[in-house]
Every structure is written in C-alpha cells, then in structure tokens.
C-alpha cells in the first residue's frame, strides 16, 4: 500500500512538470469540469486534492482494459500499454500518458525523439453515461458521429506528442453500447494549441500569475474575500447590459435559469477582486464576503474538558447527582393544537 501511495505521489509530482492531455482542454476553455485556473492551481502546487478519484473516474479506470480488449477484437489490431509519461523533446511542457499505442504489424512501441515508433495510432479508452450518448452520436437528425470537444483537444494533444496521424476513441456508453471514433491529425490546430499552452506555461505557471477567470467559481477561488471597494461601471456598456438582462431573466422564471447562471458568472468575473459594481457611487450589484464565523469542535472540546471534569468531580463533596439537580429546571410543556 505504501508503494502504491508513493507511486501515485511521484506521478502527481511528474504531472506538475508540464501540460498533459487532460489539462489542455481546460486551458482552452473546452472542459466542462475544470478551468485554466484549476490547472494553474495544480501546476503551481496550490491544490493538493485536484485528482481525488470519484465514482465515474474509478469505473473509467477499472473498465479501461475491457474497452481496449474490445477495440482490439473488433478492429483486429494489436494494442500496447505505454507505461511511461511521454515528454516532447522540443516543447518540454508538452507531456502526456496515453492509454494505448495501436501497433504496426510485428512491432512494439517505443518513444524516440518525440515520435512513438512502431505505432500506427493512439488509442484512448472512454466510458460514458447513457445520458451522454448524444455527445458521441451528434444532435442532428442524421445521427452523425462526433467526438466531444474536450476529448478532441486531448486526442490532438497526444498526436502532437507522438507524431502520429490519427487517434481512435473506443467508448463504452451506458455500460452496454460500444462505439469507435477517429480523430485525424490537424497541423494548424496543433500549432495553435502548442502556442496557447506555451503562453500559459511561461506567463502563468512559471511566473505564478493566475490566468483570467472563466467562471464565477474561478473568481471565488482567486479572490475569496473582496477588497472593500466598488468597481464603477458607468462607461462599461457590456456590463450594464448584462445587469439589465439578468434582472429580466430572473423575472422570467426557471426556463432561463441556464442563461442566468452564465450572466451571473460573467458579472462575477466583472467584479473580480472588488466588492461589487456601481455607477457614480450608487451600487448596482454587491458580492461581499460575510464576516468570518466560528465553528466549535465539540468533540475535541469535550475530550479536552473531560479530564478537568473528572478532577473537579473527584474534589467535589456534593454528589454529582445533586449538582446535576441544582442545575436542572422544569420547563412547562407547550400546548399543541392538533386536528385528529
């Protein structure tokens, strides 16, 4: 157990030395579960719990071998696990752990100077909820084949890392439906991704400067307390427009709740470290931190007080039952009106 814990700690430490396939979609604003701020906190060592395993992640890892075997059987291709973190020789921040290499005939995969030799393509094994079927089937009437944007970013990142031309996604949907999707290499997309990642690594990670927030949650993370000042938005027409639209959306009810959340996020980003937004000193929106509250650890307090209580009880001439009675009062019962 200690060895497994040490191995995981080493793996997490290695991940912080570059940008991996699961990071790039967040940096590009494509990941539905995390943002560039989340990645920045992890890479700068400010978030220790960012890779806790949840139920979906557990089953995704557990079923990876099953999905890989199914892909190999259906395509009659050989696949190989690559048990190492890959790092690009020219772009040192470009790292990744691919699920499998899809092998050339009579060959084994090996990583040499930024190229995964002996491999035809990359295989990524995914599991998805049945509710996510449309993410892979397309929402149009023709039922076209699609790949979610955040997985496209991951797959393209691995093609940049390995020098290969295509990445297959083997997907088990709802535990009972198998799909295969192929992503082809695109040099223009790869160049743009590397440029954005390089900027993020140099300007944000190495300089320890947080990226621009992408959501209200990001703002709350970066600025847990406001600075006590209002931001004047008299000349910020776009901000005033969002405030007015938010008022209209709230009045229209639940059907516009999603748009309300988007506007709230955008306005929280407008507020940033400030206490709110105002025009000529008149508040429009406030977002202030409440006064710090106190929370008593009653169990800890009782443990600390118990020895003192025992000492006091031993020295007390009056029996404990009498002391208890002295501090007990009788409270009249309240009247309850109940219709039988």
Residues 201 and 271 in one domain: no
Which of 286, 307, 329 terminates a domain? The answer is 286
**How many CB atoms are located within 10 Å of the residue 15 CB?**
20
Residue carrying the six token digits 């590397």: 194
The answer to whether the beta carbons of residues 153 and 144 sit under 8 Å apart is no
Number of structural domains in the chain: 2
**pLDDT for the residue numbered 260:** 85
The answer to whether the beta carbons of residues 75 and 178 sit under 8 Å apart is no
Q: CA 304, 309, 312, 317: dihedral to nearest 10 degrees? A: -170
Residue 83's φ and ψ, nearest 5 degrees, are -90, 55
Which of 196, 193, 195, 197 lies closest to 183 in space, CA to CA? 193
Longest alpha-carbon distance in the chain: 91
CA–CA separation, 12 and 339 (whole Å)? 63
Q: How many H-runs (helices) and E-runs (strands) does the chain carry? A: 13, 12
Domain membership of residue 334 (yes or no) is no
**pLDDT for the residue numbered 35:** 96
Please give the span between the terminal C-alpha atoms of the chain, in angstroms, as a whole number: 61
User: Token digits for 282?
Assistant: 């008149």
Which of 176, 206, 236 terminates a domain? The answer is 206
Residues 227 and 269 in one domain: yes
Residues 170 and 32 in one domain: yes
**pLDDT for the residue numbered 141:** 44
Residues 79 and 194 in one domain: yes
**pLDDT for the residue numbered 6:** 61
Residues 187 and 238 in one domain: no
What are the start-end ranges of the H helices in 209-297?
Answer: 216-222, 237-252, 257-271
**pLDDT for the residue numbered 48:** 60
CATH code: domain of residue 80:
3.90.320.10
**pLDDT for the residue numbered 334:** 40
Domain membership of residue 305 (yes or no) is no
Which of 94, 71, 76 lies closest to 172 in space, CA to CA? 71
CA-only gyration radius of the chain, Å: 28
Per-residue pLDDT of the chain (340 residues; tens, 9 = 90+): 455 556 667 777 888 999 999 999 999 999 999 999 999 999 999 976 555 567 777 877 889 999 999 999 999 999 999 989 999 999 999 999 999 999 998 889 999 988 999 999 999 999 999 989 989 987 544 456 899 999 999 999 999 999 999 999 999 999 999 999 999 999 999 999 999 999 999 999 999 999 999 999 999 999 988 888 999 999 999 999 999 998 888 878 767 788 888 898 999 999 998 989 999 888 899 888 877 766 666 676 667 666 766 666 666 655 545 544 555 666 554 443 433 2
User: Token digits for 194?
Assistant: 């590397």
Residues 120 and 264 in one domain: no
**pLDDT for the residue numbered 259:** 85
Residues 198 and 256 in one domain: no
Domain membership of residue 339 (yes or no) is no
Say if strands 282-286 and 110-112 run parallel, antiparallel, or are unpaired: unpaired
Calculate the alpha carbon distances from 135 to 132, 156, 166, 287 in Å.
5, 18, 20, 36
Domain membership of residue 116 (yes or no) is yes
9, burial (CB in 10 Å: exposed 0-12, middle 13-18, buried 19+) = exposed
Residues 43 and 84 in one domain: yes
Instruction: Please list, in sequence order, all residues whose beta carbon lies within 8 angstroms of the beta carbon of residue 313, skipping any fewer than 6 positions away.
Output: 320
Residue carrying the six token digits 């790869």: 190
Residue carrying the six token digits 């506007």: 263
**pLDDT for the residue numbered 340:** 23
Residues 106 and 253 in one domain: no
* Residue span of the structural domain in which 273 resides: 216-286
Which of 185, 206, 227 terminates a domain? The answer is 206
**pLDDT for the residue numbered 264:** 87
């Amino acid at each position: 157990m200690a060895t497994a814990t040490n191995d995981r700690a080493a793996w997490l430490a290695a991940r912080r030395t570059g940008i991996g396939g699961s990071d790039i979609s967040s940096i590009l604003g494509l990941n539905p579960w995390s943002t560039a701020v989340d990645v920045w906190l992890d890479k700068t060592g400010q978030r220790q719990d960012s890779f806790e395993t949840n139920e979906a992640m557990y089953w995704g890892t557990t079923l990876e071998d099953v999905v890989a075997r199914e892909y190999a059987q259906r395509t009659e291709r050989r696949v190989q696990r690559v048990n190492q973190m890959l790092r690009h020789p020219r772009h040192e921040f470009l790292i990744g752990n691919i699920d499998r290499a899809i092998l050339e005939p009579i060959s084994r995969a090996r990583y040499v100077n930024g190229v995964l030799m002996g491999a035809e393509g990359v295989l990524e094994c995914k599991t998805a909820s049945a509710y996510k079927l449309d993410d892979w089937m397309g929402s149009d009437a023709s039922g076209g084949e699609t790949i979610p944007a955040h997985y496209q970013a991951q797959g393209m990142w691995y093609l940049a890392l390995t020098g290969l031309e295509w990445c297959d996604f083997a997907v088990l949907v709802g535990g009972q439906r198998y799909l295969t999707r192929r992503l082809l290499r695109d040099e223009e997309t790869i160049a743009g991704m590397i440029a954005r990642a390089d900027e993020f690594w140099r300007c944000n990670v190495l300089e320890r400067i947080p990226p621009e927030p992408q959501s209200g949650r990001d703002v709350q993370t970066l600025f847990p307390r406001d600075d006590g000042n209002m931001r004047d938005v008299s000349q910020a027409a776009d901000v005033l427009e969002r405030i007015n639209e938010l008022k209209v959306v709230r009045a229209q009810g639940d059907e516009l709740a999603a748009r309300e959340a988007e506007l709230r996020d955008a306005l929280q980003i407008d507020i940033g470290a400030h206490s709110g937004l105002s025009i000529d000193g008149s508040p429009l929106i406030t977002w202030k931190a409440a006064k710090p509250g106190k929370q008593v650890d009653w169990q800890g307090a009782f443990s600390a007080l118990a020895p003192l209580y025992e000492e006091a009880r031993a020295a007390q001439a009056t029996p404990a039952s009498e002391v208890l009675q002295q501090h007990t009062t009788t409270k009249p019962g309240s009247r309850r009106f109940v219709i039988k």
